[in-house]
Amino acid sequence: MLPVATPNDLLRAALTADPARPLLTFYDDATGERTELSVRTFENWVAKTANLLQDELAATAGSRLALALPVHWQAAVWMQAAWALGMEVVPGLSGDVVVTTPDRLEGLSGDVVSLSLRPALVAATTPAPPLPAGVLDGDTEVLAHGDRFVPYAPPAADAAALTVGGRTWSLAELGALAARGSGARVLVSEALDTVDTVSSALLVPLASGGSTVLVRNADPALLERRRETERVTG
């Protein structure tokens, strides 16, 4: 019997097969931002983020990562980084580690990470407004961590990985779900908070050699032209 593939296996395989191929292309129609991540660049961000989770926030297998982010390439990065440790990702603001935007910090406590979702170069070079005491500035803290990640304990394939819509999916189940897709280039303009958007935006492209165009604040008037210029096929 062939071993069960997990999202971590899918990323490693994609990195081995073609690290330079485009994986995620991100647009923000409100700001005009366009960011493109190859498999290698995505993996680099994932490693830095996983190191932050493990070394600075003491996250371990079984910890819950709450994500409250709009559709964005960083949402995919944090999700994949959590799985590298064997964490369970849940949408919302309740978890062992909470990752959200500065406008949603009120009333939160514990391990909270704020992401401004500004373009990476801007975030790295331009100070952001002060954050509440105890809130981690994810824009700057992630950059300080290493480019290679090794978990203290490799996550088990049956570890809980994603809980949405009243159901929990294991790492192995997400890997199996990804194997059903094709190597298309798809466009996703909704938050990665359902199993369908997570699968189509991240898992299937990793498994099949495809790629994704993520669009935040999508302008309906631009979508059809973007499908053409970005050669969306799925």
Residue 132 lies in a domain: yes
Residues 6+ apart with CB under 8 A from 101: 68, 69, 70, 114, 115, 116, 117
Total domains in the chain come to: 1
pLDDT value for 3? 61
pLDDT value for 149? 98
Residue 88 lies in domain: 7-229
| 10, pLDDT greater than 80 | yes
pLDDT value for 181? 74
Work out the number of other CB atoms within 10 angstroms of the CB of residue 232.
18
Residue 2 lies in a domain: no
Query: What residue type is assigned to position 232 of the chain?
Result: V
| 2, pLDDT greater than 60 | no
Residue 234 lies in a domain: no
Predicted confidence (pLDDT) per residue in 21-65, tens digit: 999 999 999 999 999 999 999 999 999 999 999 999 999 999 999
Residue 28 lies in a domain: yes
- Cα separation of 211 and 183, whole Å? 7
Task: Dig out the tokens for 52 from the structure.
Answer: 């932050």
Split at pLDDT 50, 70, 90, the class of 180 is confident
Residue 1 lies in a domain: no
- Cα separation of 134 and 111, whole Å? 8
Which of helix, strand or coil describes residue 185?
A: strand
| 1, pLDDT greater than 70 | no
Name the CA radius of gyration of the chain, rounded: 17
Residues 6+ apart with CB under 8 A from 121: none
- Cα separation of 51 and 59, whole Å? 10
Residue 225 lies in a domain: yes
What would the mean pLDDT of 215-234 be, rounded to a whole number? 94
Task: Dig out the tokens for 181 from the structure.
Answer: 């897709």
For the sheet containing 33-38, what is the strand order?
Answer: 33-38, 22-28, 211-216, 185-188
- Mean pLDDT for all residues in the chain: 94
Predicted confidence (pLDDT) per residue in 100-159, tens digit: 999 999 999 889 999 999 887 777 777 778 999 999 999 989 999 999 999 999 999 999
- CATH code: domain of residue 198: 3.40.50.12780
Residue 193 lies in a domain: yes
| Sign for the pseudo-dihedral over CA of 12, 14, 19, 20 | negative
Split at pLDDT 50, 70, 90, the class of 169 is very high
Helix, strand, coil share of the chain (percent; to 5)? 40, 20, 40
What would the mean pLDDT of 191-195 be, rounded to a whole number? 96
Residue ranges of the alpha helices (H) in the chain? 7-17, 39-51, 73-85, 120-125, 138-141, 171-178, 195-198, 204-208, 220-229
Residue 18: C-alpha distances to residues 9, 21, 41, 121, 131 (Å): 14, 6, 12, 25, 39
